[in-house]
Amino acid sequence: MNRREAIQRTAMVLGYAVSAPAIMGVLHGCKASPELTYKPEFFREEQAGVISEIAEIIIPRTDTPGAKDAGVPGFIDLMLRDCYKKEDQEKFMKGLADFQEACIKASGDPFLDLTAAKQKEYVKKVHDEAVAAIKSANPPADRPFILRMKELTMLGFFTSEPGATQVLQYSAVPGAYRGCVPLSEIGKTWAT
């Protein structure tokens, strides 16, 4: 069924009482904004939504939990609020604002209004540009926002319970020390 058929059927069921804004939303592919899985204390709600989506793009849900499942957005909020110096908080927030402004310039829409595929494409583009800029900088430039975001996402994920127990190997009471063991024998790296 295409959108036009859906509108016609909905209108028939509701006695043709569908409002113009509802019809325009369907025609323009309006999507619900992503739900936050935590209450932000450092970020505003829109900023927290952007942070959540970027984190989920960096570590998506597959057969293992993703960044949102592991509570990474809340971790990033907490780290920035409690652990970062004021100047580092300001750099991160400026980077986030620049990221959002550049997204609007590049696509015409705010990051949260893009489709999931466009969000992923945009994050990859920004990431690749940041990596290239870091490699070519002499002396190394300040770490770009997307790389700080990636660092915090990975730290939050791999120190979370799902990251440490479902993705990395975990043994609360490890056995004897075996130094040089091929990765093929153990299957994946150890959390502890």
Q: Is residue 26 part of a domain?
A: yes
Q: Are residues 160 and 70 part of one domain?
A: yes
Domain count, the chain: 2
Co-location of 4 and 51 in the same domain: no
Cβ 86 vs Cβ 23: under 8 Å: no
Say which residue, 12 or 74, is predicted with more confidence: 74
* Helix, strand counts (H, E) of the chain: 9, 0
- Do 105 and 158 fall within a single domain? yes
Range of the domain at 18: 1-30
pLDDT, mean of residues 54-58: 95
The verdict on 53 and 145 lying in the same domain is yes
What pLDDT score does 77 carry? 94
Same domain? For 130 and 46 the reply is yes
The more confidently predicted of residues 140 and 3 is: 140
Same domain, 45 and 95: yes
Say yes or no: 8 and 57 in one domain: no
Q: In this predicted model, what pLDDT tens digit does every residue of 136-180 receive, in sequence order?
A: 876 666 789 999 999 999 999 998 888 888 888 766 666 777 778
Mean model confidence pLDDT for the chain: 81
91 and 20 together in one domain: no
pTM of the model: 0.71
Gap between the Cα atoms of 49 and 32, Å rounded: 12
- My answer on whether 19 and 37 are in the same domain is no
Q: Is residue 47 part of a domain?
A: yes
Residue 190 lies in a domain: no
pLDDT tens string 118-137 = 999 999 999 999 988 888 87
Are 26 and 37 part of one and the same domain? no
For the segment 59-83, the average pLDDT, to the nearest whole number, is 92
Residue 12 has pLDDT above 70, yes or no: no
Residues 60 and 15 in one domain: no
73 with 4, same domain? no
